[in-house]
Amino acid sequence: MTNSSNIKNRYYQSYNDNQSLLPGLELSWIKRLRDDAITQFNQDGFPDKNVEEWNVHPCKGLSDTFYDPCQENNYEIDVKSIEKKDSNCLIRVIFLNGKVINIEHDTLPAGIKVNTLSFYLKNNPEFLKGKIKSANEYSEVRLSNIIDSRPQSIVALNTAFHEDGAIIHIDKNIEVPGFIELLHLGECEENTMKHIRSVIFLDKASKCEVLENIKQHKNNNVVFTSNVTDVHVSEGASLSFVRFIEGNSKNLHINNVHVQLDKDSKFISTSLINSKGQARAETRVNLLGENSSSKINILMMGTNNSLQESLTKVKHSTKNTKSDQIIRIILDENSRGSFQGKIRVDVGADGTLANMSGKSLLLSDNARVNSKPELEILADDVRCSHGVTVGSLNAEQLFYLRSRGIPENEARKLLINSFGNVIINNISTNLAKRAKNLMLEDSNKND
Amino acid sequence: MTIALEIKDLHVEISDKEILKGVSLNIEHGEMAAIMGPNGAGKSTLASVLAGKEGYTITSGSIKYLGKNLLDMPIDERAAAGVFLAFQYPVEIPGVATSAFVRTALNAQRRHRGESELDGIEFLKLAREKAKELEMSEDFFQREVNVGFSGGEKKRAEIFQMSMLSPTLAILDETDSGLDIDTLKIVAAGINNLRSDKLCGIVITHYQRLLEHLKPDTIHILADGKIVKTGDKSLAILLEEKGYQGIIEAA
Ligand SMILES: Nc1ncnc2c1ncn2[C@@H]1O[C@H](COP(=O)(O)OP(=O)(O)OP(=O)(O)O)[C@@H](O)[C@H]1O
Ligand SMILES: [Mg+2]
């Protein structure tokens, strides 16, 4: 038996041995969801380089180490020691090691429901039905019509092992004043794995801003975390979603967001990825309703030996939908970055408008980037554009700034920031300041 | 008067090709010198070497400014010491607002000289004053540096930066090219406003018109990497009549 299939078996074993730790198993539909997922994982294993979504950096470090998904953590944290909630933040959900430890909020207007997954499983499981999708629903449908579940192995593992999550439900016509923050803190035992499963559901004509804020773990243990979020934006509703992912050099984080967009709805997302370890963010958007639109902005920053990856799949399923993607990658030292972006326009999805622009800035000779834009266009009346460029800091610009008296370091910083500004300056109102401060904190930390 | 800038037998190569072939030039405190010369003579090269641009090989010669060896100083230190180059082709910096850029530059220079930095309000007050002198609309403070500026706007923005940074050695590389007659007047007045017994000016131009406004003390003709003739403003008039070829041949 090879090492990797040996490890695969240990996950299967662990699932069977630790059922008492996994919430909701007494419900038959949850049990089926989890059972199917572990079966799928057991079949597919971790994706290797033969899976196109993973062929740049095939799951480095995952297939040869067993990360215990059911390890109890004895770390505690004093909620009072956590920095205070931002003034524009209406509700903050704090996670520690994969479990919600606190929810704080100002006076809540009616129509806004935010609680934990475990709360709903205990008190109102029916509410979750259909909102948490089974892993195989997210399988890739290849051009040959073959259904390929292998790229979604991590989602399957998450579906089997998730312990908690945040459930956000916004009623019809409600506009949430301020943003909702999901703050993820961690301090885990060596070689553990934590899965979080969240749901964001916006009912018709509602409006909401959500920040998923993933902090680096406090200690230096090797930890794998996976956050999967199922998003549904109903007719005429609009969701602004910001993901901020940092990590220390021992953190491996994989983040999956699956978005379903109904008629006239909007999804505007910004991902800021700045891990010193490994981080992978996947964004899959399905434009299911006419006149729906999606904006995906991604800024990845790498230093040292870090690896940042981003995968987007935008599927235009019906007529007159629109998507935009702006990706910026800044890599220094020995860091690695990769971006895979696919735009798929289904048969009959005429009137599709789709743009993708990817630019990478390499600050060191040893940094490496890999960009792979892909178009699959099966409709006729479609306007698509995509462009990717890779460059280093512009010497003329650097000279111009320095000739005005700006020291080299500061001039470089100014140019690097200006490269990322197109992403930072496009964040929705309530979240803009918070996101900028997070970026600032982070860049100061790196100095 | 005493010599502020002293260029001695300067030889400069770019990718193994000699561009400056022994330039010597002295400029005194308060002097405004004009440099004229045919296309490709090396005027911008000289300006870039003064400002410290990389990519040039100085094979021999020296440049001293206020007693210091300029060639040993990093680009930003030269600026803090008072060197300012108005670019022949100002560079666009997308994503950086003009006011943020100028404020960063001004405060970096002040810091370097051990002076206190200007806060946002003090800076804005100064910037408004200077923009008004140059009859520029304040809209451009928020615009990205030189992005989408017309040719004339770029040149005017260079002079705005210069008056904000108040240098002691100003090198203006074809600041007049692309300016309409009215703008040329405004820009010339902006330059004249900065004149003092401390400011050394080097004005690179192809045209008599700017010189009529600036009334330079000396005019130097740079041809094929060398100063071939030096004179007063009558030289510019002679040049209009005879062209470079006539003057170079006579020299
Ligand atoms: N990076 C470079 N590589 C090779 N040759 C260069 C480079 N930069 C300048 N040169 C050459 O050096 C010579 C002098 O150029 P420079 O720009 O200094 O001329 P100039 O006197 O300013 O001309 P103009 O009046 O047209 O502005 C030219 O022949 C030019 O082609
Ligand atoms: Mg020139």
pLDDT tens, A88-137?
999 999 999 999 999 999 888 999 999 999 999 999 999 999 999 999 99
CB-closest option in B75, B112, B165 to A399: B75
- Tell me whether A399 touches chain B (CB under 8 Å): yes
Give the range of the structural domain holding residue B171, as residue numbers without chain letter.
3-250
CA distance B171 to A18: 76
Distance CA A208, CA A269 (A): 12
- Please identify, by atom number, the ligand 1 atom nearest to the C-alpha of residue B222: 21
Put simply, the answer to whether A400 touches B93 (Cβ < 8 Å) is yes
Instruction: Say if the Cβ atoms of A401 and B108 lie within 8 Å.
Output: no
Q: Which of A203-217, A265-279, B223-237 has the lowest mean pLDDT?
A: B223-237
pLDDT over threshold 50, residue A447: no
pLDDT at B173 over 60: yes
Q: From CA B165, how far away is CA B158, in angstroms rounded?
A: 11
Residues with CB under 6 A from ligand 1: B 14-15, 17, 19, 37, 39-45, 88
**pLDDT at position A286, please?**
98
Q: If you take atom 5 of ligand 1, which residue's CA is the nearest one?
A: B14
Is residue B2 over pLDDT 60? yes
Compute the mean pLDDT over every residue in chain B, rounded to the nearest whole number: 94
Give me the pLDDT at residue B251, please: 62
Residue B122's Cα: distance from chain center in Å? 26
What are the percentages of helix, strand and coil residues in chain A, rounded to 5? Answer: 25, 40, 35
Pair B98, B50: CB distance under 8 Å: no
When mean pLDDT is compared over A439-443, B164-168, B239-243, the highest value belongs to B164-168
Side-chain half-sphere exposure of A202, counting CA atoms within 13 A: 31
Residue, of B116 and A70, whose pLDDT is higher: B116
Mutate to test the interface with B, among A361, A402, A404, A416 (most CBs of B within 10 A): A404
**Paired sense of beta strands A382-391 and A352-362, if any:** parallel
pLDDT of residue A59: 75
Q: What is the pLDDT of residues A33-43, one digit of tens each?
A: 999 999 999 99
Q: Which of A155, A166, A157 lies closest to A67, judged by CA?
A: A157
Nearest CA to ligand 1 atom 10: B14
Compute the distance from residue B40 Cα to the ligand 1 centre, in Å: 5
Which of A410, A418, A419 is opposite residue B108, by nearest beta carbon?
A: A410
**% of chain B surpassing 70 pLDDT:** 99
Q: Where residue A444 falls among pLDDT bands split at 50, 70, 90?
A: low
State the distance from the centre of ligand 2 to the C-alpha of B87, rounded, in angstroms: 9
Residue A279 C-alpha to ligand 1 middle, in angstroms?
Answer: 47
How many CB atoms lie under 10 A from the CB of residue B180?
A: 9
**How far lies B243's CA from each of A142, B7, B246, B250, in Å?**
72, 26, 6, 11
Query: Inter-axis angle of helices B120-133 and B98-112, to 10 degrees?
Result: 110
Q: How far apart are CA A167 and CA B178, in angstroms?
A: 61
Please give the Cα distance from A266 to A292 (Å, whole number).
6
B76 pLDDT band, cuts 50/70/90, is: very high
For residue B101, list chain A residues with Cβ-Cβ distance below 8 A: 401, 404, 414
One-letter amino acid of B45: T
Band of residue A182 on the pLDDT scale cut at 50, 70, 90:
very high
Residues of B in contact with A404 (CB under 8 A): 79, 84, 101-102, 105, 108-109, 161, 165
Name the residue facing B51 among A403, A414, A415 (closest C-beta).
A403
Q: Whose CA is nearest to atom 24 of ligand 1?
A: B39
B101 contacts A414? CB cut-off 8 A? yes
**Lookup result for tokens 């572990």:** A38
Q: What residues are paired with A267 via a beta bridge?
A: A239, A294
Tell me, what CATH number does B26's domain have?
A: 3.40.50.300
The verdict on A406 touching B (C-beta cutoff 8 Å) is: yes
Of all ligands present, the nearest one to the C-alpha of B87 is: 2
Residue A395 to residue B165, Cβ atoms within 8 A? no
Of A195, A197, A138, give the one whose Cα is nearest residue A167: A197
Burial grade of B87 (CB within 10 A; 0-12, 13-18, 19 or more): buried
Instruction: Find the mean pLDDT for residues A368-390.
Output: 95
- The residue behind tokens 């308060």 is B30
Q: Which residue has its alpha carbon closest to ligand 1 atom 26?
A: B39
Q: Which tokens hold the place of A171?
A: 């009623």
Q: How far is the CA of A408 from the centre of ligand 1 (A)?
A: 25
pLDDT above 90: percentage of residues in chain B: 86
DSSP string, A43-64: HH-S--TTSGGGSSSTTTTTTT
Q: Would the pLDDT of A429 be above 90?
A: no
Q: Considering just the CA atoms, what is the radius of gyration of chain B in Å?
A: 18
Atom of ligand 1 nearest to the CA of B41: 21
Amino acid identity of residue B209, one-letter, is R
The shortest C-alpha distance from B54 to chain A (Å) reads 8
Mean residue pLDDT across chain A: 93
Span A355-361, average pLDDT: 96
The closest of A358, A377, A379 to A369, measured between CA atoms, is: A358
Nearest CA to ligand 1 atom 4: B14
List for chain B the helix, strand, coil content (%; round to 5).
Answer: 40, 30, 30
Nearest residue (CA) to ligand 1, atom 16: B42
Share of chain A above pLDDT 90, in %: 84
CA B219 to chain centroid, in Å, comes to 15
**Measuring from atom 19 of ligand 1, which residue has the nearest CA?**
B40
Average pLDDT of the segment spanning A387-416? 96
Domains contained in chain B, number = 1
Q: Do A411 and B76 touch (CB under 8 A)?
A: yes
- DSSP assignment of A274-317: EESSEEEEEEEEEE-STT-EEEEEEEEEE-TT-EEEEEEEEEE-
**Contact check, Cβ <8 Å, B104/A410:** yes
Contact A400 B90 (CB under 8 A): yes
Number of Cβ within a 10 Å radius of residue A226? 23
pLDDT of residue A445: 60
Mutate to test the pocket of ligand 1, among B20, B36, B45, B222 (most ligand atoms within 8 A of CB): B45
Mean pLDDT for the stretch of residues A399-406: 98
Chain A residues inside the 8 Å CB shell of B84: 403-404
Band of the pLDDT at A443, cuts 50, 70, 90? low
- The answer to which of A74-88, B85-99, B125-139 has the lowest mean pLDDT is A74-88
Residue reference for tokens 């003064």: B50
ipTM: 0.96
**Which member of B55, B91, B112 has the closest CB to residue A400?**
B91
